[in-house]
């Protein structure tokens, strides 16, 4: 475990990150933990794997410097990618989607020959039959990604036998992050708690989220955030949930061809109208033969192409290639 411990210790000790790695259970941090779980220790030999932080101080001259970038171009941790000097110090940049890579190439002029895509991955989710007495919606991502829109739409639809389950909190990124931003969303969370047919769970660990997803029918995500991938959507699809979302960011790439995707609207009132129509259609037609056939194919496909069994081979092959090209 010598190499893995080195990678983990570096992430833990990086105080320039906006969130503490040790306290955070966001998508990027979870992906690194899973990568360490699924790859053998020797795969990390000579590799300096840097998570989401284009920081000069994290470069190591005697290692192969690999930046694993999940962030969008507007995040401050990405800004040094505009520096040719910094780029020269990197050997590789790994992106989590083609969309994110293209954004960085166009904005920062990141060299194509140094950047590749290795998609996110999940642990396979076994399927259980969904409850038939009601339709369960779930929102299980951070509040600023579209919860306000969803709550307004859900209240306006006012449907019987439809419940919305909200698993959202700023504590997912640790106590320090929560202390700075938690109050911003307190009113929104209180509205969730006081709305008919809404169950507010706050933060749940990933294994609890997966158990919830097995009982859910629809991942309702009117995204107003430029997702660079979306692990919440991937897990939802693997669990047999229909995903109803927007085409903002990499969501179209991540969810195609299975998700129900609407065009993003900058004006909230226009987005609410479009999203309301799409969500209502999914609720009404969830049990149709067409939808059920699609969802069966979806969960089988997603569990295969996004599995860590498959992705770990990609990572192992990449690290092997990176070492060979350095010698």
Question: What is the pLDDT at residue 23?
Answer: 86
Mean pLDDT by 10 residues, the chain (327 residues): 92 86 91 97 97 96 97 96 97 98 98 97 97 97 97 97 96 85 91 97 96 98 97 98 98 97 97 98 98 98 97 98 87
CATH top-level class of 135-305: alpha beta
CA 167 – CA 164 distance, rounded (Å): 10
Question: What is the pLDDT at residue 139?
Answer: 98
Query: Tokens representing 253?
Result: 């790439």
- β-sheet bridge partners, residue 116: 94
The domain locations on the chain are 2-121+307-326, 135-305
CA 148 – CA 151 distance, rounded (Å): 5
Question: What is the pLDDT at residue 325?
Answer: 87
β strands within 74-217, DSSP E: 92-95, 115-117, 135-139, 162-166, 198-200
Residue listed under structure tokens 């933060």: 203
Question: What is the pLDDT at residue 54?
Answer: 97
Question: What is the pLDDT at residue 48?
Answer: 97
Question: What is the pLDDT at residue 174?
Answer: 85
Question: What is the pLDDT at residue 326?
Answer: 79
CA 172 – CA 309 distance, rounded (Å): 26
CA 282 – CA 294 distance, rounded (Å): 12
Peptide bond into 257 cis (omega under 30): yes
Question: What is the pLDDT at residue 133?
Answer: 95
């Amino acid at each position: 475990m010598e190499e893995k411990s080195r990678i983990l210790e570096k992430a833990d000790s990086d105080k320039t990150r906006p969130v503490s790695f040790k306290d955070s259970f966001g998508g990027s941090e979870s992906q690194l933990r899973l990568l360490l779980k699924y790859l053998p220790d020797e795969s990390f030999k000579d590799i300096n794997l840097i998570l989401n932080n284009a920081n000069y101080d994290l470069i190591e001259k005697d290692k192969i410097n690999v930046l694993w970038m999940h962030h969008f171009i507007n995040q401050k941790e990405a800004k040094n990618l505009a520096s040719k000097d910094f780029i020269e110090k990197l050997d590789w940049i790994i992106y989590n989607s083609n969309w994110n890579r293209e954004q960085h190439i166009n904005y920062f002029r990141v060299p194509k020959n140094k950047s590749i895509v290795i998609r996110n991955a999940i642990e396979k989710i076994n399927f259980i039959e969904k409850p038939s007495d009601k339709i369960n919606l779930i929102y299980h991502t951070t509040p600023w990604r579209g919860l306000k829109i969803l709550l307004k739409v859900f209240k306006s639809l006012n449907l019987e036998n439809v419940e919305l389950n909200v698993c959202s909190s700023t504590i997912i990124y640790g106590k320090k992050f929560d202390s700075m931003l938690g109050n911003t969303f307190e009113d929104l969370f209180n509205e969730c708690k006081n709305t008919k047919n809404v169950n507010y769970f706050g933060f749940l660990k990933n294994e609890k989220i997966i158990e919830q997803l097995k009982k859910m029918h629809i991942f309702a995500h009117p995204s107003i955030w430029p997702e660079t991938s979306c692990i919440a959507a991937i897990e939802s699809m693997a669990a047999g949930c229909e995903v109803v979302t927007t085409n903002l960011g990499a969501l179209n790439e991540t969810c195609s061809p299975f998700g129900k995707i609407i065009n993003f609207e900058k004006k909230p009132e226009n987005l609410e109208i479009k999203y309301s129509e799409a969500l209502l259609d999914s609720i009404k037609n969830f049990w149709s033969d067409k939808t059920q056939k699609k969802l069966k194919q979806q969960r089988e496909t997603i569990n295969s192409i996004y599995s860590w069994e498959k992705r770990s081979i990609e990572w192992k092959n990449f690290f092997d290639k990176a070492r060979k090209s350095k010698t």
